[in-house]
Amino acid sequence: MKISVTGATGKLGSIVIETLLESVPAANLAVSVRNPEKAESLRARGVEVRQGDFDQPETLDQAFAGVDRLLIVSADGDNESRIRQHQAAVSAAKRANVGFIAFTSLGNASESPLFLAPVHRATEEAIRQTGIPYSFLRNNWYLENETGTVQAVLRGAPWLTSAGSGKVGWAARRDYAQAAAAVLAGNGHENTVYELSGKPITQGELASILAGALGRDVPVQQVDDDTYAGIMAGAGVPEPVVPILVAIQSAIRDGALDIESGDFEKLLGRPITPLREVLRQMVSEIQS
Q: How far apart are CA 91 and CA 82, in angstroms?
A: 14
- Residue 90 region by backbone torsions, left for phi larger than 0, else alpha for psi between -120 and 50, else beta: alpha
Could you tell me the residue ranges of all domains in the chain? Answer: 3-139, 141-169+197-259+273-288
pLDDT band at 132 (very low <50, low <70, confident <90, very high): very high
- Residue 37 is classified by DSSP as G
What's the pLDDT at 288? Answer: 86
Q: Summarize the confidence of residues 194-222 as an average pLDDT.
A: 97
User: Measuring CA to CA, how many Å separate 45 from each of 13, 15, 68, 78, 177?
Assistant: 16, 15, 21, 34, 20
pLDDT tens, residue by residue, 214-269? 999 999 999 999 999 999 999 999 999 999 999 999 999 999 999 999 999 999 99
Q: Which pLDDT score is estimated for 267?
A: 98
> What class has domain 141-169+197-259+273-288?
alpha beta
Q: Measured between alpha carbons, how far apart are the two ends of the chain, in Å?
A: 41
Pairing outcome for strands 3-6 and 29-33: parallel
**Is residue 86 within 8 Å of residue 121, measured between CB atoms?**
no
CATH class as words, domain 3-139 = alpha beta
Count Cβ atoms within 10 A of the Cβ of residue 123 and give its class: 0-12 exposed, 13-18 middle, 19 or more buried: buried
Percent of the chain with pLDDT over 70: 100
Q: How many CB atoms lie within 10 A of CB 271?
A: 11
Residue 11: pLDDT over 90: yes
What integer is the mean pLDDT of 50-58?
Answer: 96
